[in-house]
Amino acid sequence: MYQIRIIKFLLVIGLLIPSCITPFQPDIPPEAVNKYVVFGQVNDNSEYHTVTISMASPVSDPQYSPVSGCSVRISDDNGNQFTLQESLTEPGVYSAHIGSQYLAVGKSFKVDIITQDGTAIESDYDRIPPCPEVGEVYYELDEIISEFTGQPEKGIRFYTDLDAGNLESRFFKWNVTETWEYRVDYPREWYYDGTVHHIYPPDYSRKVCWSTEKIKEIYTLSTSDLNANIYSKFPLNFVSSRTSRLIYGYSLLIEQSALSEEAYSFWDQMRINSTGLGGLYERQPLSITGNLHNKTDPDKEVLGFFGASSVRSKRIFISSVPDLPIEYVGYCTPVLLEHGFAELSPSDYPAWLMGDKERYYMTLLSNDCVDCLYYGGINIKPDFWPY
């Protein structure tokens, strides 16, 4: 579901761009955006393989418009076919199980789609190349200029090393997923909903949570112009000391993919076009040629890419960062009820209060003080968490 998350994230970011920045508005005629957008990938490290189908929308009014009711089939170069089913909860997302016996290095795959209006879409075949194991992953202290404040911001930058040896693969891409533990300041103990209630012992179940996010950046590398199929200190994501990520524990999952030259060319252009104000193109690659074709109307372009890759992964965990002061400031601000409960209305219920085991205080605690789920994480510790 990586592409869906990219689309939703960039849509939100686009809405948050300050009005003092004048966005680039290309002159795109209506017929240029009324196109299908297809993303999908088969890889040798997954049981289920997904294809997303949507319609492009104008840059001036970016929307994710899923296309439901399609017939979707993945085929390999031996004539094996796999029918995909649409998700019951995510329109436009189609998936199928493909056994590992079909996913050997050197195999090629394509996708065929028939939409509800009868449009036939077909991709070129894409071949699975061999992928080396993920090299060492490490970090160094770093400082960047914040794109939001324009001020220096300290943190850490992650890096990885690549050693593909004598493998034929020369084109690579990395997906990075971060998970971190965070906590709120108080347990849930006293609250008011017209009557004061006391939870005792205090409820700590929502005091500690874990959040997981896909890093939005696209990381690509070609070693085709290098003498050796190796690369040292390839830069990955930056983590700021001004967030809660580095306080209680931080984990990074690195997924390294070996790509065909065609797939690399597409994703590298996506990387270039998703930088800065071009970020909206990551969800609508209007200027990028992929490997999909409209068989019903050959003059009508299909956007996106369907690829095949081999994937290797590595997870690392950080409990603390020496010599990096954490500058994070939480959002919890208790508010004194100067006029008592008369300040509250039913829309505020339950109104959480400060207190101890003996009594409550006329101090209001917002949800961000007592409920870690408020920030969108989960309060179930991930299986990979080390403690």
DSSP 321-335: -TT-----------E
DSSP secondary structure letters along 357-371: SS-EEEEEE-HHHH-
Judge residue 293's burial from the number of C-beta atoms within 10 Å of its C-beta, 0-12 exposed, 13-18 middle, 19 or more buried: middle
pLDDT surpasses 80 at 282:
no
Question: Which run of H or E residues covers position 177?
Answer: strand 171-183
SS3 content of the chain, % helix, strand, coil (to 5): 15, 40, 45
Tell me: the pLDDT tens digits for 246-267?
999 999 999 999 999 999 999 9
Predicted confidence at residue 277, as pLDDT, reads: 41
Omega before 201 within 30 of 0, i.e. cis: yes
Residues constituting the chain: 387
Greatest C-alpha distance within the chain: 76
Is 160 buried (19+), middle (13-18) or exposed (0-12) by CB count in 10 A?
buried
Q: pLDDT band at residue 288, thresholds of 50, 70 and 90?
A: confident
Q: Tens digits of per-residue pLDDT, 318-371?
A: 999 999 999 999 889 999 999 999 999 999 999 999 999 889 999 999 999 999
Mean pLDDT over residues 277-284, rounded?
A: 42
Contact 233, 149 (CB under 8 A): no
DSSP character for 378?
Answer: B
Average pLDDT over residues 122-142: 97
The yes-or-no verdict on residue 124 having pLDDT over 60 is: yes
End-to-end CA distance of the chain: 28
Place of tokens 């960039």: 10
pLDDT value for 14: 33
Residue type, 86: E
The single residue listed with the structure tokens 């870690």 is 372
Q: Tell me the C-alpha distance between 378 and 384, whole Å.
A: 14
The structure's pTM equals 0.84
Tell whether the model's pLDDT for residue 12 goes beyond 50.
no
